[in-house]
A and B are shown apart, each in its own frame.
Chain A
């Protein structure tokens, strides 16, 4: 009897275990809400919440913001594959957006979101096979060299207007017994992107936008002389131990966010720092007493080949949707609007993409100047590494820069990247 009881109860237990296996269930969401995954934390997260506040108040839609952080690409991919993506996400770069779009995971924004006031250049970046899959919340201008006007004046340095002048100035600073460049590239798992920005900026100036586009699309190999030339120009600065604060080891190990602080020590440990508009935020956080425009300013990264002029390199914050609901549509339209972008850029000193944003929202003259540069750009190109497949753009290009600065021969570096590009683009 007891044995029978045992058997029966075991069978029941097993049946219960099987029944308890979780069946895919819809997560209960309160009415009128949108989930949004972002990589922003701290001040950027607060700026986002400030941006969203008027929308939430007006529509009653609850935007549930989730900060994912540094491992955003990984978390997004995992959630998409598991079938539980966020409704809306700030996609790390157009390259990953394209991959999601090609996998059929993204909502086409055609006819859903009003993007008439967004420049065509940005719309094109988010277009795959005729469908727009993302909208740009804001942009950053990357072709800027930050410096301290006071330090320059004290030492009698002039702002260089060509590459040769830039090198000459660097030599002069070294001759004066000082260090010209702050060039820290450390950024955790993303270490190397600072260097890729340099190379992209140089490539635009030495090879021109057409060849740049071909390079982005892998229509020319990485071993192409024009690509090699751009790397060598970068090497003229980064490989010179006396040009860079801390030498090559400093370039590899100083966090990019701390790097510009070398401009503001007494005496300055370095005089120039090439970085995007968003670095102002880091400068002010570490040195709250500095006044933008007076204590620090920027000049545009000088032209190299006269025939290609001074093109501008930039990047942006991209928003895509994984689910199409009325609430998602309302949110996307809001984020594309001049109202939302005005609040967002006003909080963070980024540059608006929507043409109707009032320039008065920019918090200081430097940001306004950068916005003017972006609006008036003759040639503007998006950060190449953000457009390439992740295995190159967030893989071998980054690590290639690290290898190059670490002393690996350039040909080896370029062959390694080329090998990975051949199969990353080949799929």
Chain B
């Protein structure tokens, strides 16, 4: 009887212990730090939060994070969905899917470095080391400073790098879900006279809804924390700052743990609802199985 009470704790104990030590404790400590100046020197009250919501650069970072969330998620998920559905009908599906998936295998820093070269700018008349500007000048155009065209073009071009990397991931997950839809459903719809658009809209999409929700929320959570691409390509200059890069700078460059922790807490608060939604969706999907 006694062992029956102790044993579950013994099994779950290490996991709970690790979770508390590596997740709960740091989270609470971060929240604690966010109410202090600098490196925990003196109590700051809400001052760090006021700063974060009034500082010009941090406000730019908020705007850009929102831009990343909307544009990145929209494009990765819709491209992923399009590839998943369309490639199902192609003979070379596996090869094409592998090609689209390959960028996932490159490290973020590596990919960002590659794209830095693609976007590189050199003055008119000198050899263009950047692929994009080489093409533009090849057609007789003027070289463009891709990464300095604030605020929309450069941010969008950074997001393109993310989309290029993560579309493959969305495609693979959605493709697996698509292949799980019973073919009879689609066939029945076709026999009933539905055209392909109707099949897609009335059968495929509803069946994919749980998978789409999981993929989209995963992308949102991922992209809220976006750091590497911006850090390597512009370091947040030219109006491309994002929250994670700001956090890094405040913490390690400016030695301001309070502000860095504040940004971390805000990121956490932004992510929690998405995570909750994600877990609920995941559970629903599990129950359907």
Contacts and interface: CB of A to CB of B under 8 A. Distances in A.
B89 interface: no
Contacts, number: 93
Contacts of A394: 253
Nearest to A252: B148
A54 B123 CA distance: 46
Contact of B252 (A74, A249, A420): A74
Given A189-B235, A406-B150, A390 B255 contact: yes
Contacts of A361: none
Given A254-B123, A406-B148, A11 B10 contact: yes
Interface in A73-118: 73-74, 77-78, 99
B111 interface: no
A209 interface: no
Contacts of A17: 14
Contacts of A391: 253-254, 256
Interface string B219-239: 000000000000100011111
B3 A3 contact: yes
Contacts of B150: 406
A7 B238 contact: no
B3 A262 contact: no
A249 B14 contact: no
B3 A78 contact: no
Contacts of B255: 77, 99, 390
A253 interface: yes
Nearest to A394: B253
B6 interface: yes
Nearest to B231: A189
Most buried by B among A262, A396, A427: A427
Interface string A385-411: 000011100111001001000100000
Contact of B123 (A192, A250, A402, A427): A250
Nearest to B236: A399
Contacts of A420: 55
A246 B238 contact: no
Nearest to B120: A253
A130 interface: no
A188 B232 CA distance: 8
Interface residues of B, number: 39
A254 B6 contact: no
B177 to A, nearest CB: 39
A412 B236 CA distance: 18
Given A254-B123, A427-B37, A399 B6 contact: no
Most buried by A among B14, B51, B147, B237: B237
A262 B254 CA distance: 35
Nearest to A13: B14
Interface in A171-196: 188-189, 191-192
Given A3-B3, A406-B148, A406-B238, A254 B121 contact: yes
A381 interface: no
Nearest to A415: B56
Given A188-B235, A427-B37, A416 B10 contact: no
A14 B14 contact: yes
Interface in B114-129: 120-126
Interface in B59-79: none
B201 interface: no
A14 B13 contact: yes
A247 B120 CA distance: 15
Interface string A268-283: 0100000000000000
Contacts of B14: 14, 17
B121 A191 contact: no
A97 to B, nearest CB: 13
Contact of B126 (A4, A265, A419): A265
Given A245-B123, A253-B148, A390 B253 contact: yes
A272 to B, nearest CB: 15
A336 B138 CA distance: 55
B103 interface: no
B180 interface: no
A246 B122 contact: yes
A284 interface: no
Nearest to A247: B123
A424 interface: yes
B263 to A, nearest CB: 14
A253 B249 contact: no
A253 B235 contact: no
A74 B253 contact: yes
Given A73-B253, A191-B235, A427-B37, A254 B13 contact: no
B145 A253 contact: yes
Contacts of A265: 126
Contact of B237 (A74, A390, A399, A416): A399
A10 interface: yes
A9 to B, nearest CB: 10
B107 to A, nearest CB: 17
A253 B10 contact: no
Given A254-B121, A254-B122, A406-B148, A395 B235 contact: no
Interface in B2-20: 3, 6-7, 10-11, 13-14
Nearest to A78: B252
Most buried by B among A17, A253, A262, A427: A253
Contact of A7 (B6, B56, B236): B6
A48 to B, nearest CB: 25
12 contacts: A4-B3, A7-B3, A249-B145, A249-B148, A253-B121, A253-B148, A254-B122, A262-B123, A269-B125, A390-B255, A395-B254, A420-B55
The 8 closest A-B pairs by CB, nearest first: A246-B123, A249-B145, A391-B254, A74-B252, A253-B121, A189-B235, A10-B10, A250-B123
Given A189-B235, A192-B237, A250-B145, 10 more contacts: A7-B3, A10-B11, A11-B10, A14-B13, A17-B14, A188-B235, A245-B123, A252-B148, A253-B121, A395-B253
